[in-house]
Amino acid sequence: MHTLTMKFGGTSVGTIEALRSLTEIIRQAQRRAERVAIVVSAMSGVTDLLQEGITSASEGRTTRYAEIEQTLRMRHSDVLQALAPGEASVVMAEVGGLITDFVGFCDSVSVLGEVTPRTLDYTMGLGERMSVRQVAAVLRGAGIPAQAFDSTDLIVTDDRFQDAAPLMDESRANVHAKVFPALDAGKVAVVTGFIGATRSGIATTLGRGGSDYSGAIIAACLDSDELWIWTDVPGVMSTDPRIVPEAHTIDKLTYREVTELAYFGAKVLHPKTIRPVSELGMPIRVKDTFHPDHPGTLIVPSDPDSTHPLKAVTVIRNVAAFTLEGKGMQGVPGVAGRTFDAVARAGASILVISQSSSEQSIFFVIPDRNAAQVASAIEKEFSREMARQDIDTVMYNSHYTIVTVVGSGMRDTPGVAGRLFSALGQHQINVVAIAMGSSDCSLSLAVASSQADDAIRAIHELAIRAAQPVAQ
């Protein structure tokens, strides 16, 4: 029996037009697979609104969340009236209950004057719970039997609020017990993305953009044959089409390439999406809800026949580049280890590292929001060495951007680095640091933020497009 799990992102459930397209996609899918489960995001913009509402409440601004309440009511009620008129009032009552919940939380937070990660997770996850009820009603309105599920009843997670990790065995048991009966009764299961709950039932989220990850978790728990991710662009592209309109769809990528691409900033997929399905070798397709006939991108465990050494270029903005330098550094034992321990203690994760061979300097890049804390942690760690001037002051610069080129053939293809640097040279772009990814299929460069978009365009034009046999 063929099981297909599909995930629809915020824009794919965000308008009446998108939901009409989604309905057609489900009809087609039912011809292909006996069991169809879908994982859906909140309507586009809703998670941001919920976050803004609760944050403004914590700052004592009580009018903003009242406005947001109205927007949420209107957006859902417009869709339900148009696409599920028969049960609009019943479903709107359920959705309205969730919105009332949101307002209640905002009221409490405005009194308390602070919001905890736990409260953020509960409120920010409400958008998905509104969305599943709406999408299931829209499908039923089109004559497709469908049942909504909250992942708070399915996906069991740890209690790292805002970035929770799934406990797969327990989640699988829940999905088997609760979702399979609906699928076997011929219904489409409509499951919330983004959220889960701890063993004791406290709501969590998997991190922003986490619905892709939820899609993969549900696909794995259902032993699906395939996972299809529907979004608002025709697949994974050679770069963000918002920066380079000529970006083309990549027809095939490996698990490692796509993970690297996502880790280094391509928003199209959440970086953890591959994890739940990697052992199963499940094929993933990324497709465009608004152009469903476009083949999109196929993601496979490995692709030995790949002929393109460079496939995509991605960007992470708002990073801080740290340099630790000093003439006496050679003599100081364990400088690198102590530096990275200090960074970890400050709660930051390092995106890129490079060390000069003379050991006289260490360079690394972290998200800018952690910069001040990391600087003071390092200064504390090396206070003695700094007093002796073995290590000069710790410097950081927040005006850098990481640009990463991804492609697994890079390692074995001569001349790749040359092509890349000549592209950057032609555009007078200065590369501050270079680091090869540990998986050998990415190369990251730090450049001044003011030159980042030029660097992306230059790399895309001269190194990626130039290597394409046929530009699409």
**Burial of residue 412 (number of CB atoms within 10 Å: 0-12, 13-18, 19+):** exposed
Q: Which is nearer to ligand ASP, 192 or 370 (CB)?
A: 192
How many residues bind ligand ASP, per CB under 6 A? 12
Residue 437 within binding range of ligand ASP, rule CB under 6 A:
no
14, 166, 209, 265: which one binds Mg ion (CB under 5 A)? 209
232 binds, among ligand ASP, ligand ADP, Mg ion, none (CB under 5 to 8 A by kind): ligand ADP
Residue 265 within binding range of Mg ion, rule CB under 5 A:
no
Q: Which is nearer to ligand ASP, 194 or 363 (CB)?
A: 194
The torsion of the CA quartet 24, 29, 32, 37, rounded to 10 degrees, works out to -160
Residue 267 within binding range of ligand ASP, rule CB under 6 A:
no
Residue 208 within binding range of ligand ASP, rule CB under 6 A:
yes
276 binds, among Mg ion, ligand ASP, ligand ADP, none (CB under 5 to 8 A by kind): none
Residue with tokens 């989604």: 22
Residue 171 within binding range of ligand ASP, rule CB under 6 A:
no
Residue 235 within binding range of ligand ASP, rule CB under 6 A:
no
Interface ranges with ligand ADP (CB under 6 A): 9-12, 41, 209, 231-233, 236-237, 239-242, 266-268, 312
CB of 114 to Mg ion, least distance (A): 29
Q: Which is nearer to ligand ASP, 194 or 264 (CB)?
A: 194
CB of 243 to ligand ADP, least distance (A): 8
Span interacting with ligand ASP, options 13-21, 202-210, 251-259, 274-282, rule CB under 6 A:
202-210
Q: Which is nearer to ligand ASP, 9 or 407 (CB)?
A: 9
CB of 429 to ligand ASP, least distance (A): 32
Structure tokens that stand for 4 in this block: 């297909």
5, 11, 12, 41: which one binds ligand ASP (CB under 6 A)? 41
Q: Which is nearer to Mg ion, 9 or 166 (CB)?
A: 9
Rg (CA), the chain: 24
47 binds, among Mg ion, ligand ASP, ligand ADP, none (CB under 5 to 8 A by kind): ligand ASP
Q: Which is nearer to ligand ADP, 53 or 127 (CB)?
A: 127
Structure tokens that stand for 59 in this block: 């700052």
194, 263, 264, 364: which one binds ligand ASP (CB under 6 A)? 194
Q: Pairing mode, if any, of strands 188-192 and 146-149?
A: parallel
CB of 322 to ligand ADP, least distance (A): 26
Residue 9 within binding range of ligand ASP, rule CB under 6 A:
yes
141, 166, 196, 209: which one binds ligand ASP (CB under 6 A)? 209
13, 33, 36, 42: which one binds ligand ASP (CB under 6 A)? 42
Q: Which is nearer to Mg ion, 243 or 467 (CB)?
A: 243
* CB atoms near residue 17 (< 10 Å): 10
166 binds, among ligand ADP, Mg ion, ligand ASP, none (CB under 5 to 8 A by kind): none
**CA 406 – CA 215 distance, rounded (Å):** 24
Residues that bind Mg ion (CB under 5 A): 9, 209
Residues that bind ligand ASP (CB under 6 A): 9-10, 41-42, 47, 127, 193-194, 208-211
